[in-house]
Amino acid sequence: MKAAAATAASVAVSVGVVLLLVPMLGGQPDGPGFWMSVLCPLLIAGPASTWQFHQTETIARQRDAIARMHVKLEDAHAELKRLHADLGEKARTDALTGGLNRGAFFEALEEAAAHGNGPMALIVADADHFKQINDGFGHLVGDEALCRIGRVMADAIGDSGVWGRIGGEEFAALLADTGRSAAIGAAERLRLAVAETKLLADGRPVPLSVSIGVACAQAPCAPMELFRRADDDLYRAKSGGRNRIVIDGREVDPVAA
């Protein structure tokens, strides 16, 4: 349609020129000259206009296609970034409990110990008699018990630190800017909350409790030495009767905590 309109306009201009100029030159605008003024634009302007408009439309379609491809590429890039972030998060997360996995937790511990500036505390907790839970109630109930302990730990720690599952039934929490008394208080809240957790399997209550070791230090400090102290006190708590807290080799009095 555009090419036809352009051709018609060319014919009109050509005929108009002939009708104006030929009389001015003393001639008559008729005969072959007049028809040439009609045929020449048809033979030249028609194909030229058709080709030109076809090329313009082709370029416009290609430009639109490139723009759409660019939008799709940006969407794909954003989706790739999201998937990469999700994979990175999953690589750091314990799939069962939602806390940090062992590698990610120890990375956080090393970072805090190396670059922190102030008091910090490490809490290491282990589910008591966990093998008996698995043997007596089944592994699915055991998994649910670990999930419940993880939720309790997340609530007890809150935004004051990070926590993770560092072994089969072993958990740890790192508290920044936390001194001895605050660390003992957080550990006792965790111990009580786990002991008060109601978990039933086939109508039978599943006993839950944790033994806890606590170690405190002034950052910067040696991360593995801090962990060794907390882990040693954890096993003192377990050998001392379980469902208790030990710090610096001494059991914490629940009333005092």
pLDDT band at 241 (very low <50, low <70, confident <90, very high): very high
Instruction: Give yes or no for residue 225 having a pLDDT over 80.
Output: yes
Angle CA(39)–CA(44)–CA(45) in degrees, nearest 5?
Answer: 100
User: Cis omega (within 30 of 0) on the bond before 119?
Assistant: no
Q: Are 113 and 221 in contact (CB under 8 A)?
A: yes
Catalytic positions are: 169
Give me the mean pLDDT over the 19-40 stretch.
54
What is the reported pLDDT for 63?
A: 86
In this predicted structure, which of 10-24, 48-62, 86-100, 124-138 has the lowest mean pLDDT?
10-24
Residue 50: CB partners within 8 Å, gap ≥ 6? 3
How are beta strands 200-201 and 204-205 bridged, if at all? antiparallel
Per 3-state DSSP, the chain is made up of helix, strand and coil in percentages (nearest 5) of: 65, 15, 20
pLDDT in tens, 147-166: 999 999 999 888 889 999 99
Give the pLDDT of residue 45. 53
φ, ψ of residue 40 in degrees (nearest 5) = -60, -50
- Cα dihedral 32→35→36→37 (10° resolution): 130
162-208 tens-digit pLDDT: 999 999 999 999 999 999 999 999 999 999 999 999 999 999 999 99
> How far is 32 from 48, CA to CA, in rounded Å?
23
Per-residue model confidence (pLDDT) at position 101: 97
pLDDT in tens, 113-143: 999 899 999 999 999 999 999 999 999 999 9
User: Sorting pLDDT into bands at 50, 70 and 90, what band is 223?
Assistant: very high
**Cα(229)–Cα(36) distance, rounded to whole angstroms?**
106
Compute φ and ψ for 93, nearest 5 degrees. Answer: -110, 140
Pairing of strands 118-127, 170-176: antiparallel
Residue 60 pLDDT exceeds 90: no
* Residue-level pLDDT at 83: 65
Q: Where are the alpha helices (DSSP H) in 25-164?
A: 32-92, 102-115, 130-137, 139-157
